[in-house]
Amino acid sequence: MPATAHILGQAGEDAALEFLLAQGYELVHRNYRYRRAEVDLIVRLGQALLVFVEVKTRTTIHYGYPEEFVTPRKQELFRRAAEQVQEDLIWTGDIRFDILALTPSSTGLRVEHFEDAFY
């Protein structure tokens, strides 16, 4: 991945985390890795909901919206990582898979939150 793409991705994750924290979510883990899967953000809302978040940042929507780049393969890897996290945390509450799509706007990065995006 080119350095500029890495910097953009990092800025997107930072903005997404800031957005979620402002909404009352609590960070559980960032860049969680399990085998071939990576979950950008794992956050908790209250005591009963664990949310696995894929952050997609794009400089333009010329080739499609960021949320369209979450492939079925990525969703499957996410599901496997979620199972491991639930086991590690002995989590018995609900889980959800969200996508945060970020694109440039006149005021910085525009954040769209897709709750319960898949599964």
Predicted confidence pLDDT, tens digits, the chain (119 residues): 556 777 777 888 999 999 999 999 999 999 999 999 999 999 999 999 999 999 998 887 778 888 888 999 999 999 999 999 999 999 999 999 999 999 887 777 789 999 999 87
Residue 48's φ and ψ, nearest 5 degrees, are -120, 0
Tokens representing residue 43 in the block: 């956050």
Question: 24-39 burial string, b = 16+ CB within 10 Å, else e?
Answer: ebeebbeebebeebeb
Could you tell me the pTM of the whole model? 0.90
Secondary structure (3-state) at 21: helix
Write down all domains in the chain, each with its CATH number in brackets. 3-114 (3.40.1350.10)
